[in-house]
Amino acid sequence: MRIARPLGLVLVLLAALLAWLQYRLWVGHGGAREVQALSAQVARQARDNGGLKQRNAEIGAEVEDLKSGEAAVEERARSELGMIKPGETFYRVVEPASTATADDAPDTETPGLAP
């Protein structure tokens, strides 16, 4: 009977060790819940990074166009700053202000009715 007692103690210690390891695996620091949360965070960050990479590519293309292409710079200078090339003549077309004439004025008399 003396051999059974130490064997029982070893079994209890092994069961306690197994319970402690399972607790750490599922609930403790670096456990399954934390790994799942971090995986979701990594997926969300990867999605955000994809959108930012696309935006950076668009801005990079615009910068490259502005650096190499004179057409884009010329278009901005003409539209935003009102600049013209040497030798060009600038014409501004101004619409005359319309004045109300007797022909344009609405009729105040109703036909067929006498005053």
Gap between the Cα atoms of 111 and 47, Å rounded: 73
User: What is the residue whose two structure tokens read 């003396």?
Assistant: 2
> What are the pLDDT digits (tens) for 52-66?
999 999 999 888 887
| Tally of helices (H runs) and strands (E runs) in the chain | 3, 0
Gap between the Cα atoms of 35 and 27, Å rounded: 11
> What are the pLDDT digits (tens) for 85-102?
888 887 888 899 886 555
Gap between the Cα atoms of 70 and 78, Å rounded: 12
- Say what the pTM is: 0.40
